[in-house]
Amino acid sequence: MLFIRPEAERDIAEAYEWYEGREPDLGSEFLAEVDAAFSPIETNATMYHEVHRDVRRVLTRRFPYSVFYVLDSGDVVVIAVLHAARSPKVLKKRTKHR
């Protein structure tokens, strides 16, 4: 099962608002792209390599975003959805509070 932590939901909402403010429906396209990144995670969560401790990453295709997740008792927990330019310190903070 896939769970999205509140911090990751905020990441997605902020990016949606930013893209939607730039061009109508671009935010919706971003959401579709993030949703598409979730599919392979749900199917085979171990197919992506660990990038920090037990955190794994999948890249979105069209937008410069990464979905970061961990495996927890067979479940997939999305901890962040971050722009490529964001500092990795954000990710490190979120893994401390799991």
The answer, as to whether pTM is greater than 0.85, is yes
Which helix (H) or strand (E) is 13 found in, with range? Answer: helix 6-22
Beta-carbon neighbour count of residue 2 at 10 Å? 13
CATH for 2-96, options being 3.30.70.20, 3.40.50.2300, 3.30.2310.20, 3.30.70.870: 3.30.2310.20
Residue 98 has pLDDT above 60, yes or no: no
Rounded-to-integer distance, Cα 2 and Cα 22, Å = 30
Of 78, 65, 79, 69, give the one whose Cα is nearest residue 30: 65
Domain definitions of the chain by residue range: 2-96
- pLDDT tens figures, 4-59: 999 999 999 999 999 999 999 999 999 999 999 999 999 999 999 999 889 999 99
Alpha helices in 23-62 (DSSP H): 26-43
Beta-carbon neighbour count of residue 36 at 10 Å? 13
What DSSP state is assigned to residue 45? G
Rounded-to-integer distance, Cα 15 and Cα 37, Å = 15
- pLDDT tens figures, 51-84: 988 999 999 999 999 999 999 998 999 999 999 9
